[in-house]
Structure 1
Amino acid sequence: MNEVLQSVQNQASRARVAQKKLEKMSTDEKDALLQAVCDELEKRADEIEIANAIDMSAARAEGMSQGLLDRLLFNKQRVLASVQGMRAVIALPDPVGQVVRGINMDNGMRLIQSRVPMGVVAMIYEARPNVTLDVIALALKSGNAIIVRGGHAAIETNAATLRIVHDALHDQGMNPDIVSSVDEFGREGAQAMMKARGFIDLLVPRGSASLIQYVADNATVPIIETGAGNVHIYVDESADFTQAIPIIINSKTQRIGVCNAAEKLLVHEAVAQEFLPLVAKALEEFDVELRTDERAYTILSEAGFTPLQADDEDWDTEYLDYILGVRVVRDMQEAIDHINTHSTHHTEAIISQNYEAIEEFTRSIDSAVIMVNASTRFTDGSQFGFGAELGISTQKMHARGPMGLQELTTTHWVGYGTGQVRK
């Protein structure tokens, strides 16, 4: 057997032993454990910032894009913000033990379906050190062990973070194996997690489309795919321009390196002549490059702008940069068809004052989240009230959209009888 696979299996086995203790802890005990972790992280946030500066310097030297550098940055301010998100998780209801449904059978038996932890959860992600704290909070609160592979770019940041978390766990008498990393094994560690069937109960990949596809193609453990974000905004003929422009600016430019940032803009032909120059002027302030279809190119060129013409590949690209694809559509149905063809099924938005158009759009779009007259940047676990998120699922399983505490649980059935036997 491959040595790395054996090591990861052993690590997962130790995590399962630690998880059994966590599973039996009360909500108050889990909350106290998380509070101690948060306190230690706040006290030693400078250590994480120093480690992150090493990762940032190396990433710049390797030519990492601006969008990915933004994801990688984990300075003291961002560490403290993540800790606040962890504290928000503490305040949430504990999903473990929640009754999903109950059935009274004709023979007098009582069946109860309730939530239980997944067990040992693993996660693979790239250049997102904040995710480390998010998943630790969600895992501990929901009674799960967590094993992470945080990627080479954030290796120093994640190592510093885990040292602090382990110290806090140890001080609370908790086995540090409940939170661990396979970063020391590099890519082989990630591959071993994918093959650790029977040792890892759930694997969640979060990152580029190529990473997620690789995990989906190669994993033998159960996975939940989180999606890349080829996010669309459709501006309907009834759109309020005073709403539309700030929404587009916020969706595209607030943070470019995140999966809920807008990547494509579709505009109804009835308003394109008037609207496109307005939005192009607003985007100029942020140096956003526009890649357009022929109709949008003509409108913007005649208005004095210098867009680029999009090619077929553009419509399927998640830029994670100051780039926006722009297309003029005949009507909403063409917008819907375009989105359902090219979307990664993450988040789409409609800007419209027509109730019927809004209802048709929300019924017809095959994505996890649909925003109506609001920024796509709201697709986020913390914004949804989850405190933190494991990722944003684009699958059509029990978890779709931002994943929080409940998505880290499964259910079991308990049948209460009084001596019944089946005839």
Structure 2
Amino acid sequence: MRIATLQFAPKLGDVEGNINRANDLLKRGKHISLDGQSHGIGIGIEYLRPDILVLPELALTGYNFPSKKAIKPYLEPAGAGPSAAWARDTAKRLRCKVCIGYPEIEHSTDETEMPKYYNSLLVVDELGTVIHNYRKSFLYYTDETWAAEGSVDLGFRKLAFTPRTEPETNSASATKPTAYLSQHEIPTSFGICMDINPYKFEAPYTAYEFANRVLDSGSQLVILSMAWLTLMGKEDITALNGKPDMDTFSYWLNRFMPLLEKKMRHAGDIDSHTERHGASTDAATKRTVIIFANRAGEEPAADDTKPPARYAGTSAVIAVTQRARLGSGSGSGSESGSRVVDGIDGGEKGEGEKEGTMETKIACWDLLGAGEEGICFADTTADPKMVFGLRKRGGGEESSGEDSEASG
């Protein structure tokens, strides 16, 4: 599957300006380095040919609204409004699914009832048809000033993808349309930012509500639209010089610990219908691909008592992979062309969950910088850029990563 996210820094309340910025960044495309450093070329989104494009939470309106009154002018009925119109146009133009975060208003059929507001994620298919609408169910403090909780029941559905064959490259057939194969349904979980945290930060850290729903549902794909905050200062982000916020990235991965500790039992793979060129999977391998589609930049403080809202960027496309070991060895190491990085603490498994013949790793195809604007892109049929191994917690102690719980 070819996956793209658009990480950018929308300005609060500037819908038209944010649309123009999003279009400009998609046109500029993905920067491909030619010398491993700064020099390179931009590959436009049309040439990347994504199967799905995911935008951040409240992508075209901005996020840090302090009240219902402040966000009211930007509310949209599901499927009707600037966010939906942009998603439909982009989906039809790119022939891919588009997921976009937006502020939703739902009017009641009972005129005596007040309308409800939701922090929502709209999913549009390749024809521009709305196929799903998910509402954030675990609200962050900012959301609680204006939004109602959504239902976790809407956080799962099967998405039908029609795989595309590679286009012909010879001159005689260069103008022929791309060939399409039969549809492939992929069990998919949806979340918005705070959804991966403990409920209201009151539930136990190890409840892992979202990750356990992903595991129990047999999801092969997880789509997360985010406006995840960072505790870093502006100077700290600038000092990263285009590098990701690794504290935030590590925290996100730790929120999916059940996928690392328990055996996946879903059948199939998001790429089982295609000819894979690199990171091969087989019947002995299970994968769950996770899309972290975050935003970057900074927004004004909600009031004089609060700091500005500063976002962590660091969008990524990863997969948690489990592979059955052959024999009693410790595994063969990284995939070809990737490097292994010790990075994520792996805790001991509970009774009945120990998988002595299972090797678990985290593959990462792309990881953007904290302050970067641009496209995060992954072709999950290719080898990942990085593979993270699991590091056992010393003395059996668990490391939760709670020092980086800033959310959105």
Please state which structure has a larger fraction of its residues in helix: 1
**Normalized against structure 1, the TM-score is what?**
0.26
Greater share of strand: 2
Q: TM-score, normalised on structure 2?
A: 0.26
Structure whose CA Rg is larger: 1
